[in-house]
Amino acid sequence: MTTAKLPPIPGTTPFDGEQAKKGYALNKMCFSFNSAECRAEFLRDEEAYMKKYSLNEEQAAGIRARDVLGLIRAGGNAYYLAKFAGILGLNMQDIGALQTGMTVEQFKAKLAAYA
Amino acid sequence: MAKIVGMLTTSHVPAIGGAIAKNLQQDAYWKPFFDGFLPVRKWLDEVKPDVAVVLYNDHGLNFFLDKMPTFSVGAAREYHNADEGWGIPTLAPTRGDIDLSWHLINNLVERDFDITTCQEMLVDHAFTIPLKLFWPQSPCPIPAVPVCINTVQFPLPSAKRCYALGEAVGDAIRNWDTDKKVVVIGTGGLSHQLDGERAGFINKDFDLKFMDSMIDDPKWATQFSIHELVEKTGTQGVELIMWLAARAAVKGKVRKVHSNYHIPISNTASGLMALEALE
Chain A residues close to B196, C-beta within 8 Å: 11-13, 69, 72, 99
Q: Is B265 strand, coil or helix?
A: strand
Is B262 known to be catalytic?
A: no
Is the pLDDT at B203 greater than 80? The verdict is yes
Q: What is the pLDDT of residues B99-139, one digit of tens each?
A: 999 999 999 999 999 999 999 999 999 999 999 999 999 99
Q: For this structure, is B192 an active site residue?
A: yes
pTM over 0.90: yes
Domains of chain B with bracketed CATH = 3-277 (3.40.830.10)
Mean pLDDT across the stretch B16-30? Answer: 95
For chain A, residues with pLDDT lower than 70 are: 1-4
* Residues of A in Cβ contact (< 8 Å) with B154: 3, 14-17
How many CB atoms within 10 Å of residue B106? 11
Mutate to test the interface with A, among B57, B150, B195 (most CBs of A within 10 A): B195
> Which residues contact residue A109 at a Cβ distance below 8 angstroms, ignoring those fewer than 6 apart?
none
- What's the rounded mean pLDDT across residues B222-247? 98
The pLDDT tens digits of the residues spanning B175-199 come to: 999 999 999 999 999 999 999 999 9
Q: Is B184 within 8 Å of B4 (Cβ atoms)? A: yes
Across the interface, whether the CB atoms of B195 and A72 are under 8 A apart is answered yes
CA dihedral B61, B65, B69, B75 (to 10 degrees): -30
Contacts A95 to B, Cβ<8 Å: 194, 199
Q: Where are the domains of chain A?
A: 18-88
- CATH T-level topology, domain A18-88: Protocatechuate 4,5-dioxygenase; Chain A (1.10.700)
Average pLDDT along chain B: 97
Best probe of the B interface among A13, A77, A79, A80, by most B CBs < 10 A, is A79
Q: Mean pLDDT across the stretch B201-205?
A: 98
d(CA B4, CA B186): 14
Q: What pLDDT digit, counting tens, does each position of B42-66 carry?
A: 999 999 999 999 999 999 999 999 9
How many whole angstroms separate alpha carbon B107 and alpha carbon B97?
Answer: 16
> Which band of pLDDT confidence, cut at 50, 70 and 90, is reported for residue B87?
confident
Secondary element (H or E) of residue B145: strand B144-149
Q: What ipTM does this complex have?
A: 0.95
Chain A residue whose CA is closest to B156: A16
DSSP letter string, B149-217: E--SSSSPPPHHHHHHHHHHHHHHHHTSSS--EEEEEEE--SS---SSTTTT---HHHHHHHHHHHHH-
Contact criterion met (CB < 8 Å) for A112 and B61: no
Distance between CA atoms of A71 and B197, rounded to whole angstroms?
Answer: 13
